[in-house]
Structure 1
């Protein structure tokens, strides 16, 4: 038991020292004057003073605290401050007159001890609800460096009685619990503390002791922002709990503090443990003790807070932390001890002991007759969203059993049927059990020695090393019957001649009933506790593990490097449905960026049409077949009057390339006016007129002489702002045209997106295209509207982007959505412009206009019409835009919401006056959105605009989810 002095100290209130008195102490004893304010503390009084030249912290504690303890704290700070590679550490400041760094003062009859420390600039992590894994890891690394630095440090003041000493957690908590008035909370804390102490006690002799800080928490580190606005801890303050204690307790304190940032998931702390282990490795006993110590720390914190509020109800510091500490306790007690132990040991590379021998459960069923079903993301049994049927797994299993006599699901399979679209958290999809359909009345025998337990219809065969959980078996045996391996224990339920269902699950822990499914992030730890039941059926029931990492390495090995991935660690996505995409773990993502799939993913009508045409014919457009004539006529009918001739190609790049050739052929000139910040494609010609430095950092240095880029008419961040900027931007085009007039080289044409898509969907200034088109045509040039991204109904209010400007171009280029992902592009123009190309010979694109491509194109248009997708783009897009604009009223980072329909751009800025782009923040926000189940990417020359261009089937529910997740990120951090 802790001594009475320690218990009495737990009940002490903070020193009763006012701000005025603190000001006098600073002036009289340290010759310091300046602005002063109080900092929070549990049992001390801390005041920050800013002299204008430097900042210091005045620390005041009660006389009941031993002076030698304060001396130890000062010595520890000096020791760490002298070591290389340490985080920033505050340093004691001696009083000028006495040279002492601890003063003894009496105020109004109370005795206090006073110290002055240098102040570390930076922010606390406490109020940041979300911490990125890199920040969590860095906090673990800071904890490890301090522990490493204190490894050889000693001082008499380290041998102290401290309520936070986790070696005394049990007795201290039980003492503190008398102040907890909530009976249920008191009982829960007591139960958790008893369980934790029971797990710690046998490990205690192997736990190393050294000098430790014992309070490296999100409150007691200071952090400075990186380029993306993430706070990275780099300084440690408050050495008030420094002690000679268990090394592992230092990490336990840090991990406990992280739990209120964990969003309910205790695995959130693992990066901190890994970082600590890399710097100052813990032994196996310490690793096993870590989680019980976390639970103990959380229990002591909650109990101490309840007591302190009873003593000092106006302590704002304690009040402010109370909810955090209760959340820490809730998260710490939300999972079994053995699960976190398994996760921690696995992280440290410590293997589990081998399983005992396990025999077959159903000896009369030959292993080779058991058919294994496929319920994974790639299963051919799952189609057209039938995986949302809650009975689909059993239907597939029963169908397989009817055909083969016996069938089983697979262990460790990520089942698509357990996915959850529009979920900020990856759902539990990893199967920790198997279900089997086998002949009814098949005899079951004990696969190992044990005791048969009955819980209703649920059976458990228990041995010291393993437990078998069984459902679907009828047994004549009584509860708690001892059986030996091979003894009959029952028969499979069901009528003779039918099949019966069995559910099988193994577990290493006698006190644990594992869940049937685990979340992907928890799967490895749970599979250590609930191993594969393959031995029970004598067949390998394990589903193959995803090989996403190996596939990514293979991609990097053989796939050309300029062909980049979205994300540094991309999920392996193998299926889609409507606006959702699914990775191989069954995680559903809302696709908010994929403008290629205009209809949505996996559309059954399109799949059937393509499959039928592939079964009939696919060839090139020089053959005569119906689809090319019908599709070309259909496209021409969608264009304004006079644009009656169609070329079919493979992509948007080819379409732009061909449009430029047509302009050259029609005009007889070469020069093209294009816009800065634009992207038009990757072919030689389309790349030549692309000037986006986000896509090509050297774009402005490498344009050929026939390309003449003019100022981007960016009405948000360009040199001229707002709707009244038309004249100025047109003047920039006119200046380029006049320069060409002077040299007499002639003009081939002008190309631009009808809405400034690559910059984030920014509308062109009113009347801009009307004036520019007129000036271009006066010189014999051709006007090209690049509608590859912004056309084809995506804007909702218009089918073509140029309709917003009230103009008709000479050439339209389209691609992307018109094929819903099938390589398909087109150029629509006037007959005489098309015919001008014959001067250079005929045109041909091998796959452009193939029967399959044409059927795809016509089916896409049919579905867009029948499902009113343009109208949905208008209505859902307007609704989504209003929600995003509302975020701009709350969060200064949101500069503007551009675009219309389902082509929107959300621009992030650091300053609303200078419009400084928030480039790094945007990248970090996209990464956080991926964690929350949203696929999003940046665009624009500064990569600070979210390019919001989802499938046109986007539902209002999905729009709300996207806006909600973005709000969550902006509120909690990234």
Structure 2
């Protein structure tokens, strides 16, 4: 039991020292003058002074605190400062008279005063989100301090401290009297009792040493790394230094992390792993960790209530009270058994396997080979179109299978697509910890183990020392609390005789736990250790095969050429899609905001039927005569301006651009092409030659062939000339290149550009730019190529073609990507005269270009775009989304500009709106954070600091809202 002095100290208010009085102390005793700012504290007064040259912290505490304890804190800071591989800590400063600790009286109150150096950096408290590397960094920092203090000795370490977790139970009991909310008081008391009960049998194996005991988000300072993340590298406030349980140091750190956890207690695990790597804990300490976190959370909430009761104006306590309640809520939301298992698993101490050979048969009258297993996974053929969104689809499919075979079962450990949630910022619980069985009603059910019978309404539990069996759907005449032997009858499957009944079966290794039916994928492995498979109960294999995403990624990296990159360092395995949503193999739904290839959206049933029908009829090359190639070519020509009446069909945008350049060469007899800097046009030799984006090719500017003449990118946001009045300056850059070609006595082949600057984030060209440039090109006999692969085909909403925004007509249009909704399909539309010029060089042929399947797909895409008004949706939803993004720019300085129109938008991030320094690292980190929140997003631009927003044109307003909300969350909470 803590002594009365300790309990009395829990009731002390802060010292009553004003800012002016603190200034007098600093001037008189330390010779320091400067600007002062009070820093928060629960029971001390802390003031930061900035002298103009240096900064210090004046710490004032009440005389009731033993001086030897303050001396121990100063000694510990000096000790840690001498060690290598150590974090930054404050340095104690002696007073003018040589004192380490001053004893002063202010307004008849006795205080103890110290001065410390101030550590630069920011606390982590106000950063709502902490990335896993930051969480791990905090755990590693705590371990480094613990290791550094291991051999430190001082008599001031032996002290009575209210925060010492060895005394958490009695301290909390004392503090609870200040908690006026009866419900909250009862919750704290219950949590504390349970936590202490779990700690007590482990206490003898918990090592004791000097510990900081307060390494929290408030008491570390952090500085930004290259990604703009605040990484902790300094520790302040040694006020809770004590000789205590080593594991308590980590417990305090993890507790503080819970108010950043967004409700997920597994959030602490990177800190646990990092601590364990530097300062290994024994098994008892690992098992005690979560109960200690719960105890710390209880003491925090109770202490805040007490402190506000005696010091209601304490803004520091007021500010912390809300997130301390959040900490307590998260700490008490998870079962102790689950978190113990998660912590052990995180450090490589996974759950031991369970011996299922002890089980008898649950359904002795059912032959195992008659059980039909129903596939409800992401890859299930039974889930057609969006049937997965039907809340009853699992039972419907199960009942259908049972009607055909007599007995059907779901699979254990299956990630069910039916439990996905679109537009969800957190992954849903999709991992099945149970099986559902459809079988004839009145089928006998027997006990597979010796157990005690527990009845909770219709829920039946057979509980033994090692395992509990949870069953729903059985008529059981047994009495609650009775005993049953393995093989004895439990009852029968509920339902009308002759009808189909349902049985739900689940195992759990913790007798005190009623487990959930589903687990979140991130928690699945730990839950699976607590809730093993019930397959042995039926004598047949009911386990779903697990995903092999890591192995497949390794296979890809072995066999797939390295230059063919994938999104993300650790990409989700995406295997299904619907409209603007994509699903990975765990059932996690992602909002697809980058996939301009699938212009209609994913899994469109009308397109699938059309393609499937044509595949069943014929697919060959365009040198055969069939209807679809003629019909599709005619339809494409009708979409182009008058005069552009001839179509080439190819299989990609790169091939389309390559062909367009060949056409220009053939028509003019020259190879000289003017292109724009910062542009991307493709990967073939010719299309790559006119591409100058250093984001796509870091050596682009130094490896262009002599026939390519790049001119200044007309980037009106960050180019050398800015704003709508920059047209003449950018046109002058083109004129300079053309004059150089003229002076060399060479002819011009043509000019190529995207009519809206796609690779730079959809920036519109300056007004009138193309009209003037096209005029100069044509005056020299050149042809004008409009690359519409990314920005055209209705994506801009306001215009079908990008060149319409400039009021011009090109000589050649290249298109691809969305026109096939993912089917390899591209096209070049030009005039008959230009097309015929190529025939002088022989015939042209693209094996896959213009195949029957591709042509049918292309026509069906156009039909669906018309029938579903997708261009209009691009305009309306795109304008709405752009307005929401522009509103973010009013709140967050990182947002430099919002480019583009329709559903081709670019959100540019800058570190400084005046210098336009690109926020490249921040943009990459924001994309990673958005993925965690269920949004697929990637950067673009030469500086990779622009979000390229080009989703399927079916994007709904709800999806636009979700994207904007998640982006706002990232910008608000951090990344």
Query: What corresponds to 1:12 in structure 2?
Result: 12
SS at match of 2:763: coil
Where 2:547 maps in the other structure, the secondary structure is: coil
- Equivalent position of 2:598 in the other structure: 597
Task: Name the SS of the counterpart of 1:796 in structure 2.
Answer: coil
Aligned to 2:126: 127
1:111 aligns with 2:123: no
Give SS of 1:739's match.
Answer: helix
Secondary structure in structure 1 of the residue aligned to 2:757:
coil
Q: Distance in 2 between matches of 1:729 and 1:654?
A: 29
- Pair 1:895-2:896 in alignment: yes
- The equivalent residue for 2:252 is 253
SS of residue paired to 1:69: helix
SS in 1 for 2:114: strand
Matching residue of 1:452: 453
Matches within 5 A, 1:83-232: 83-97=83-97, 99-232=98-231
Alpha-carbon offset, residue 864 of structure 1: 0.3
Distance (whole Å) between structure 2 residues aligned to residue 139 and residue 461 of structure 1: 43
How far did residue 354 of structure 1 move?
4.4
Q: TM-score, normalised by structure 2?
A: 0.99
Which position in structure 2 is the counterpart of 1:726?
Answer: 727
**Partner deviation per Cα, 1:550-575 (whole Å, 9 max, x = no partner):** 11011011111111110111000000
Distance 2:341 2:773 in 1: 68
State how 1:404-803 maps to structure 2 within 5 Å: 404-803=405-804
Partner of 2:273: 274
- SS of equivalent residue, structure 1 residue 511: coil
Greater shift, 806-815 or 444-453, is seen at: 444-453
Q: Map Cα deviations across residues 494-539 of structure 1 (whole Å, 9 max, x no partner).
A: 3344332110011111221111111111111211221111111111
DSSP 3-state at the match of 1:228: coil
Does residue 1:44 correspond to 2:44, yes or no? Answer: yes
Contact 2:45 2:61 in 1 (8 A): yes
TM-score (norm 1): 0.99
**Which residue in 2 is equivalent to 1:290?**
289
User: 2:56 aligns to what?
Assistant: 56
Name the counterpart of 1:66: 66
CA distance in 1, matches of 2:880, 2:25: 60
- Partner of residue 301, structure 1: 300
Distance in 1 of aligned mates of 2:592 and 2:160: 56
- Aligned residue for 2:849, secondary structure, equals coil
Deviations 1:138-160 (CA, angstroms, capped at 9, x unpaired)? 00000011011111111111000
Unaligned runs of 5+ in 1: none
Alignment coverage as a number of residue pairs: 973
The 8 Å contact of residues 594 and 937 in structure 2, kept in 1 or not, is answered as yes
2:863 paired with 1:868: no
Contact 2:341 2:350 in 1 (8 A): no
For the residue of structure 1 that corresponds to 2:660, the secondary structure is: helix
Between 1:914-923 and 1:485-494, the stretch displaced more is 485-494
Corresponding residue of 1:831: 832
Residues 302-321 of structure 1, C-alpha deviations (whole Å, 9 max, x = no match): 11111111111111111111
What do the CA deviations read for 1:780-806 (whole angstroms, capped 9, x no partner)?
A: 000000000000000001000000111
For 1:255 and 1:518, locate their aligned partners in 2 and report how far apart those are by CA, in whole Å: 23
**Distance across 2 between alignment mates of 1:598 and 1:349:** 45
Q: What is the rounded CA distance, in whole Å, between the counterparts of 1:369 and 1:84 in structure 2?
A: 67
Q: Distance in 2 between matches of 1:355 and 1:631?
A: 62
Q: Deviations over 1:804-841 (max 9, x none)?
A: 11100000000000000000000000001000001110
Structure 1 residue 489: Cα displacement: 1.4
Which residue of structure 2 lines up, in the alignment, with residue 963 of structure 1? 964
Q: For residues 418-445 of structure 1, give each alpha carbon's deviation from its aligned partner in whole angstroms, at most 9, with x where no partner exists.
A: 0000000101101011001123322211
Counterpart Cα distance in 2 of 1:32 and 1:622:
90
1:76 corresponding residue in structure 2: 76
The CA deviation at 1:33 is 1.2
User: Gaps (5+ residues) in structure 2?
Assistant: none
Query: Could you say which residue in structure 2 is the equivalent of 1:371?
Result: 372
- Give the whole-Å Cα distance in 2 for the aligned partners of 1:372 and 1:81: 64
Equivalence for 1:384: 385
Between the aligned partners of 1:354 and 1:813, the Cα distance in structure 2 is: 60
- Name the structure 2 match of 1:920: 921
Shift of 1:35: 1.3
CA distance in 2, matches of 1:654, 1:576: 27
Aligned residue in 2 for 1:880 = 881
Instruction: Tell me, in whole angstroms, the C-alpha distance in 2 between the residues paired with 1:298 and 1:453.
Output: 33
Structure 1 residue 355: Cα displacement? 3.0
Q: Give the Cα separation in 2 of the matches to 1:352 and 1:584.
A: 24
Cα shift readout 1:87-125 (whole Å, capped 9, x = no counterpart): 10111111232x221111122221111111111000000
C-alpha displacement of 1:400: 1.3
* Partner SS, residue 224 of structure 1: strand
- Deviation, structure 1 residue 590: 0.3
In 2, the alpha carbon distance for the partners of 1:882 and 1:501 equals: 51
Which residue in the other structure is 1:399 paired with? 400
Deviation (angstroms), 1:364? 1.7
436-445 vs 142-151, which moves further: 436-445
Residues 57-84 of structure 1, C-alpha deviation per residue, up to 9 Å, x if partnerless?
1111111111111111111111111000
Instruction: Indicate the SS of the match to 1:845.
Output: coil
CA distance in 2, matches of 1:38, 1:488: 72
Q: Report deviation, 1:26.
A: 1.1
Q: 1:354-383: CA deviations, max 9, x gaps?
A: 435222101121112211111000000011
Counterparts in 2 of 1:321-332, with a 5 A limit?
Answer: 321-332=320-331
Shift, 1:652, TM fit: 0.2
Q: How does 1:945-956 map to 2 (within 5 A)?
A: 945-956=946-957
Q: Does structure 1 residue 337 correspond to structure 2 residue 336?
A: yes
Identify the range of structure 1 (179-188 vs 811-820) with the bigger mean alpha-carbon deviation.
Answer: 179-188
CA distance in structure 1 between the partners assigned to 2:369 and 2:275 by the alignment: 48
Counterparts of 1:588 and 1:972 in 2: how far apart (Å)?
Answer: 22
Q: CA deviation at 1:455?
A: 2.1
Which secondary structure does the structure 1 equivalent of 2:756 belong to?
coil
Which range moves more in the overlay, 762-771 or 402-411?
A: 402-411
CA distance in 2, matches of 1:865, 1:199: 66
Determine the C-alpha separation between the residues in 2 that align with 1:41 and 1:455: 49
Q: Deviations over 1:470-504 (max 9, x none)?
A: 11112232222211111111122233443321100
Cα RMSD between the aligned structures?
A: 0.9
Structure 1 residue matching 2:590: 3-state secondary structure: strand
- Structure 1 moving runs of 4+ over 6 Å: none
